[in-house]
Amino acid sequence: MMRKVFLIGIKDLKIIFRDRAALVFMLLAPFLLTIGMGFVTGRFSGGSTGITDIPVVIVNQDQRELGDALVELLYSADLADLMDPGAADDPAAARQLIDSNGAAAAIVIPEGFTQSIMPADRSLLFGQGSQGEAVPIEVYTNPSSPVSAGIVKAIVDEFISRVEEVRLCTLTSLLQLQAGGVNPQDPRVDLDSLLQSAELSQPASLTLKTNAEGPEAVDFDLLAYFAPGMALMFLMYTVSYGGRSILTERARGTLPRLMVSPAKTAQILAGKVVGIFFTGMAQIGILILASAVFFQVKWGDPLGIMVLILAAVFGAAGWGMLITAIARTPAQVGSIGSAMMLIFGILGGSFINLEMMPPFLRTVSKITPNAWGLDGFTTLALGGTAVNLSEPITALLIMGGILFGVSVILFNRRGVMGQ
Amino acid sequence: MQTLLEVKALTKRFGDLTAVNGLSFTILEGEIFSLLGPNGAGKTTAISMLSTLYAPTSGDAAIGGHSVVREPLAVKEIIGVVPQEIALYEDLTARENLVFWGQMYGLKGKALNSRVEQVLEQIGLLDRAKDRVKTYSGGMKRRVNIGVGLLHKPRLLFMDEPTVGIDPQSRRSILETVKDLNQKGMTVLYTTHYMEEAQELSDRVGIIDHGQLIALGTQKELTRQVGQNDTIILDFNDSQDAAAMIEPVKALPSVQEATAIDTQVTVITPEAEDLLAGLIGLANQLEVKISSIDIREPNLEAVFLHLTGRALRD
């Protein structure tokens, strides 16, 4: 049963990779456009990220050294272009502001944050007290601004890791003092100086990667946004090409020949879908590999990438099958497919960050595999894993499922041979 | 010989158009059976139904005892189809095409490779097997097209006008291949609008026109229908000239039958040469100009003409 399905799929994959024109569209065009977007956005010249004035709400309930240090960092001159911070007193109000799309993220620094890391009682630094959990900082993100929210989260993560680093340095220093016969609980030992000597209060060391002078970069690469953006846009070309091949085979007589071979109609159609699927997977896989090798783009968790590619290709293939079921000739599929590729590309954020679009268009963009795919790839590029992809993957699978269902109904109504 | 194919009142309608109307015939195992008819007669639609591509509007056919309507998969295992169009993947090589189609028919491993080599040899393309089909001439593509239909050694091979649009040499090669396959025991249903092909190949011929089988039998049985008469075809420059000729021609002695269609008058007579002088004299008398004269001895073309009043090529 499945053997014939895969035979047809592999045959289609072989044919498309022998079509030079298709290869230009599938691989060369997205690759070149990615390079172009890299130049436009300054990725290759160390210029701006293109993302500025990220609205962020800070609720500092800690009101002590570390909480203040984080607030200072967010208001620092180094992040002045990137961040547009505002203060709030009530965490619930801050979350509400995010829910109403008033900012990209809220940072809630809870009361006792500093105390949990720099206890007034120094004995807590040792023994059982040192095993206690630090009070966590909450970053409440706006799902409609995944890139901005991701950047805020990355800055806070970086801050926390710096704090943890300093805390470990301090502990090490104190243990060395203890080993040298000095009692760390001796009031003459200046713990604050030790902490400060670890340069925690140097917020300038926290910068975005686009600042070439920043030694501690937040790992967000714009090409990790534009490369999948272009790959997803041209994936729409691939799925329409795959869909068109059904009508081309019908016109050239190979579909009727398949239909009179000992295979069921469902096997033949499934084979064509598998062909589209294989081609889409190969296309995105090659583009990811190429951008990783040539531009050192960090795509993130490999498992997450694999799962996301599968889901994105499934969602996109659903659109390819739908236009094939609607169109009557290969030329019609070509025209509709090209239009869809461009519209979905623009609408799905391949050229313009979705966060810069009006809310209405952001909602409309949810019908595109591009938007969900980009959401997922951005999450991965910002350090997320497969676990964080439940929303885009579910959306893409539902999208593909519905579109395939509608396509099958249309095919059944008109007959595979279009009688 | 036992019956391999039995067609019973097979009918196919596309909206208001009846492409095949109540077709019934049988084919015996080991036979070459030709469906002869002009373009648009319903030959391809008939083959499409018999090969399970189209469901009949009514009627049925049994191949090897399996209904094409109820047991299409069992039927597909028995038949091979050589379609009228070149149905190949042009970006694949001949070998890749044969391997793919062989796999679709369940061949695999050594059996597949060996069969592909045999077929490549049979169609004379072993030396070009690694070239992509799109680099082939029309005749070579036709040969691969046939090769695909032979891969799984079908009991019944449908060949739908396999010589359309090819050079005489390739055509000859295809006809020899068909005869060779038949000698090795393959039953063939061959459709054509070339009378000579049907005459050369067939054990029996069914003549089809406007979706209906209008005659069926061996060539002898069919030509007997028009007796030993010759056919004279007179061509005029004007259809009015043809119309003016028809009644006086019918009045001539030894004319058995005469019909006028467009610019052509067809005359059936036992003595063509004797009648010729009379026909020319009549044309002079009526002051109409004959542009060409064609005399044909009894053959399938004459049968078709006799039955329909039209030539096969019309």
pLDDT digits (tens, 9 = 90+) for B132-163: 999 999 889 999 999 999 999 999 999 999 98
Q: Taking 50 as the threshold, does the pLDDT of residue A73 lie above it?
A: yes
How does residue A40 score in pLDDT terms, banded at 50, 70 and 90? Answer: low
| A75-79, B67-71, B100-104, B307-311: the lowest-pLDDT one | B307-311
Residues B25 and B115 in one domain: yes
pLDDT band, residue A417 (cuts 50/70/90) = low
The answer to whether residue B234 sits within a structural domain is yes
Predicted confidence (pLDDT) at residue A81 exceeds the cutoff of 90: no
| Mean pLDDT of the A164-191 span | 65
| Residue in chain A nearest B91 by alpha carbon | A15
- What is each CA distance from B219 to A416, B4, B25, B33, B216, in whole angstroms? 40, 21, 16, 11, 9
Residue B313 within a domain: no
Kindly give, in sequence order, each residue whose CB lies less than 8 Å from that of residue B234, ignoring residues fewer than 6 positions away. Answer: B242, B245, B264, B265, B266, B267, B279, B283, B290, B292, B293
Non-local CB neighbours of A273 within 8 Å, separated by 6+ positions? A9, A317, A321, A404
Among candidate residues B223, B253, B281, the one where a domain is terminated: B223
Distance separating alpha carbons of residues A196 and A156, to the nearest angstrom = 19
Choice among A184-193, B181-190, B221-230, B254-263 with the minimum mean pLDDT:
A184-193
So what's the pLDDT on residue A195?
53
How many domains does one find in chain B? 2
Together in a domain, B37 and B134: yes
Distances in whole angstroms, Cα of residue B294 to Cα of each of A173, A239, B219: 117, 58, 22
The answer to whether residues B146 and B213 belong to one domain is yes
Q: Residue B236 maps to which CATH number?
A: 3.30.70.920
**Residue B143 near residue B83, CB atoms below 8 Å:** no
Do B163 and B238 have their domain in common? no
Q: What is the pLDDT of residue B299?
A: 81
Give yes or no: residues B111 and B250 share one domain: no
**pLDDT at B6 > cutoff 80:** yes
pLDDT at A62 over 50: yes
Whether this model's pTM surpasses 0.80: no
A137 or A39: which leads in pLDDT: A137
Contacts of B122 (CB under 8 A, 6+ apart): B147, B150, B177
Q: Which of B223, B253, B272 is the last residue of a domain?
A: B223
Burial of B118 (0-12, 13-18, 19+ CB in 10 A): middle
Of B48, B77, B100, the CB nearest to A262: B77
Residues B142 and B12 in one domain: yes
Mean pLDDT computed over B74-98: 95
Where does the pLDDT of residue A26 fall: very low under 50, low under 70, confident under 90, or very high at 90 and above?
confident
Residue-range definition of the domain harbouring residue B250: 228-297
List A208's β-bridge partners, or say none. A218
CB A367 within 8 A of CB A298: no
Q: List residues of B whose CB lies inside 8 A of any A CB.
A: 14, 48, 51-54, 73, 76-77, 79, 81, 83, 85-89, 91-92, 96, 100-101, 103-106, 132, 148
Does the pLDDT value for residue A45 go beyond 70?
no
Sketch the domain layout of chain A as residue ranges. Answer: 2-42+222-414, 54-218
Predicted local confidence at residue A206, as pLDDT: 29
Distance from CA of residue B229 to its chain's centroid?
A: 24
Question: Where residue A178 falls among pLDDT bands split at 50, 70, 90?
Answer: low
Residue B148 lies in a domain: yes
Chain B interface disruption, residue of A257, A267, A268, most B CBs within 10 A: A257
Residue with tokens 């024109």: A21
pLDDT in tens, A396-412: 999 999 998 998 888 87
Same domain, B289 and B143: no
The residue to which tokens 């007669």 are assigned: B41
Domain A54-218: assigned CATH number: 3.40.1710
- Banded model confidence at residue A208, pLDDT cuts 50, 70, 90: very low
Q: How far is residue B227 CA from its own chain's centroid?
A: 23
What pLDDT is stored for residue A134 in this prediction? Answer: 66
Find the mean pLDDT for residues A246-258. Answer: 92
Phi/psi zone of residue B21: left (φ > 0), alpha (ψ -120 to 50 degrees), beta? beta
Residues B98 and B161 in one domain: yes
- Give yes or no for a contact between A235 and A276, defined as CB atoms under 8 angstroms apart: no
- Name which of B76, B89, B103 is nearest A254 (Cβ-Cβ): B89
What pLDDT does residue A211 have? 28
Kindly state the percentage of chain B with pLDDT values over 90: 72
Helices (H), A298-389: 302-326, 330-347, 359-364, 369-381
Q: Are residues B291 and B215 in the same domain?
A: no
CA B53 to chain centre: 19
**B73–A257 CB contact, under 8 Å:** no
Model pLDDT, residue A21: 84
Q: What is the pLDDT of residue B246?
A: 92
* Averaged confidence pLDDT in chain A: 79
Residues B141 and B264 in one domain: no
Question: In this structure, what CATH number is given to the domain that contains residue B103?
Answer: 3.40.50.300
Contacts of residue B13, Cβ cutoff 8 Å, sequence gap at least 6: B19, B57
pLDDT of A355 higher than 80: no
| Least confident among A173-182, A235-244, B4-13, B288-297 | A173-182
Q: Is the pLDDT of residue A316 over 50?
A: yes
CB atoms A262 and B91 under 8 Å: no
* Mean pLDDT of chain B, nearest integer: 91
Q: Which one of A261, A265, A272 would you mutate to disrupt binding with B, by most B Cβ within 10 Å of its Cβ?
A: A261
Q: What percent of chain A has pLDDT over 70?
A: 80
Residues B185 and B170 placed together within one structural domain of the fold: yes
Give the pLDDT score at A213. 36
- Does residue B305 form part of some domain? no
Q: What is the ipTM of this complex?
A: 0.80
Three-class SS of residue A83?
A: strand
Does one domain contain both B264 and B130?
Answer: no
The reply to whether B48 falls in a domain is: yes
Residue A210: the pLDDT is 32
CA distance B136 to chain A (A): 16
Among B44, B73, B89, B146, the residue to mutate for chain A (most A Cβ within 10 A)? B89
pLDDT at A186 (0 to 100): 59
Helix (H, G, I), strand (E, B) or coil at B252: coil
